[in-house]
Amino acid sequence: MTEKPARTRELFINGDEACAEGAISAGCRFFAGYPITPATEIAESMSRRLPQVGGTFIQMEDEIASMNAILGASWAGQKAMTATSGPGFSLMMENLGLGLMLETPCVVVDIQRAGPSTGLPTSVAQGDMMQARWGSHGDREVIALAPSSPQEIFDLTVEAFNLAETYRVPVLVMSDAVVGHMSEKVIIPEIPPESLSYRRQPDCPPEDYKPYDNSYGLVPPMAVAGRGYRFHVTGLTHDEMGYPANSVEVQDKLVRRLMDKIRLNRRDIIKYRETMIEDADVVVCAYGITTRIARHAVKLAREAGIRAGLLQLVTVWPFAGERVRELAVQARAFVVPEINCGQIVLEVERCAGGQAATFLVPHTGGDVPSPETILQAIKEATR
C-alpha cells in the first residue's frame, strides 16, 4: 500500500500573506498584534486563518501589549507570533528583552519601512537590522532571519518557529515592505509533524520541576502553565527555580548560558546562500530584498568580465562571520548594498579584518537601489 502524497498548494499571494501561511504551517495558534503599515496584512490574514484551524487572534491596544500577550500565550503552551514595523518594533524592545530573559519561544516579524520615527510608512527600508541585534538592553544573543521573497518569508517563518522552540528564545523575521507587499507564486507544502520542532517538556514529577534547570544542558525543559507545574518567572536575575537572586555568581552563570545556547550552536543556526562564489574576486554580501537586485548586478558584472559572486545572508544574526573571514582570504573586496546608511557593512568590515576591502552601497530608503548602482560599486572594488 503506497502512502498518500502530501497535499501541496500553490498560491499567488503577497509576502505578508505568505508569512501568515508559514506561521499556520509551523503550528502557530496564537497571534496578538496591532495594525501598522506595511505589516497589517499579516494580522488581517491571521484574523481569518486562525479561527479556521482552532487558533486565537487578538487585536491588542498597542505593540507593547502585543508582545506581552504572545509571551503569555507561549507560557500557556501555544506557538505564538506578532508582527509589526519600525515604530511598533521600537515599542516591543523592552518586552523582547523580557522574552529573552524568560526564555520564551515566540516569533516577532518586522516588515521594515523607511524611518526614523514614522518616516515613509508605505515605503521600504532595512534600517532596523542593528536594532534587532542591540535594541534591547543587556548582554544577550538573538536569532534574526531575512527573507528575500514571498516564498522565503513562508519558509523562514516556519524555520523561525523551529528555532524558537529548539532554543527557547524569541526569533525575529526581519523582512521589508517590498517583500511584504510583492505578490508571487508561493508553494505551500503540507509539512509533516516530524519536521516541526516543539519545546522539550519536563520528564520529572511536578514537585521536582525547575523551570531553569541547567542540568539538562543549555536549553531547559519548559512546562505548560496550568498543568500542575508550579514555577515562577521574572525578568530579574533568577535561580533555577525562577526566583530573583541578587548574586553576581548567579548573574554570570545565567547570562553566559543564555548567550552560549546561541553561540555554541551557531553552525546549526546560521544559513547563507552563495552564487558564483568559487572564483569571485568581488563578493557582494546582501540580505532581504536587496539580494534580488544584487544577484542581477553580479550577473551584469560577469557579463562585463568581472568575477563577482553573491553571499546572501539568510541568517543575519548570529552573523556569518566565519564565512566572511574565509572569503576575505580569497576575494579582493566585499560590496555591501543596504537600504540604510550602513549597518551590516560594519560586521562585514570587522570580520574581513583588513584582508579584503569593504565597500558600502548605501540607500536611505523609500525605494530599492538599482542593479547599476551596485555594479558601479563592484567595478570600483576591482580598481
Query: Quick one: average pLDDT of 246-262?
Result: 97
Place of cell 546562500: 273
Tell which residue, 369, 374, 359, has the closest CA to residue 300. 374
Kindly indicate the confidence band of residue 6, based on its pLDDT and cuts at 50, 70 and 90: low
Q: Tell whether the model's pLDDT for residue 337 goes beyond 70.
A: yes
Q: Tell whether the model's pLDDT for residue 257 goes beyond 90.
A: yes
Backbone angles phi, psi at 221, to 5 degrees: -60, 155
Place of cell 500565550: 73
At 130-175, the pLDDT tens digits run 999 999 999 999 999 999 999 999 999 999 999 999 999 999 999 9
Q: Exposed e or buried b for every residue in 43-53, given b needs 16+ CB within 10 A?
A: bbbbeebbeee
Q: Tell whether the model's pLDDT for residue 285 goes beyond 80.
A: yes
Q: What is residue 293's predicted lDDT score, i.e. its pLDDT?
A: 98
What percentage of the chain exceeds 90 in pLDDT? 95
Q: Where in the chain is the domain with CATH 3.40.50.970?
A: 9-195
CATH class for domain 9-195?
alpha beta
Q: What is residue 2's predicted lDDT score, i.e. its pLDDT?
A: 45
Measured CA to CA, the distance from residue 141 to residue 291 in angstroms comes to: 25
Q: Under a CB-based contact definition with an 8 Å cutoff, are residues 331 and 290 in contact?
A: no
Q: What is residue 298's predicted lDDT score, i.e. its pLDDT?
A: 98
Query: Quick one: average pLDDT of 9-17?
Result: 97
How high does pLDDT run on average in the chain? 96
Kindly indicate the confidence band of residue 214, based on its pLDDT and cuts at 50, 70 and 90: confident
Measured CA to CA, the distance from residue 275 to residue 299 in angstroms comes to: 10
C-alpha separations of 120 from 29, 85, 86, 115, 164 in Å: 32, 11, 10, 6, 31
Residues in the chain: 383
Going 233 to 265 to 156 to 39, the CA torsion angle's sign is positive
Q: How is residue 342 written as a grid cell?
A: 550602513
State the angle between helix axes of 86-102 and 63-75 in degrees (0 to 180), rounded to the nearest 10: 30
Query: Based on the number of CB atoms within 10 Å of its own CB, is 102 exposed (0-12), middle (13-18) or buried (19 or more)?
Result: buried
Place of cell 516591543: 92
Q: How many helices (H) and strands (E) does the chain have?
A: 13, 15
Q: What is residue 124's predicted lDDT score, i.e. its pLDDT?
A: 98
What does R_g of the chain's alpha carbons equal in angstroms? 21
CATH number of the domain located at residue range(s) 273-381 in this protein: 3.40.50.920
Q: Which residues 6+ apart lie within 8 Å of 233 measured at CB?
A: 75, 102, 211, 242
Q: Under a CB-based contact definition with an 8 Å cutoff, are residues 128 and 316 in contact?
A: no
At 349-367, the pLDDT tens digits run 999 999 999 999 999 999 9
Kindly indicate the confidence band of residue 93, based on its pLDDT and cuts at 50, 70 and 90: very high
Query: Quick one: average pLDDT of 107-118?
Result: 97
Q: Where in the chain is the domain with CATH 3.40.50.920?
A: 273-381
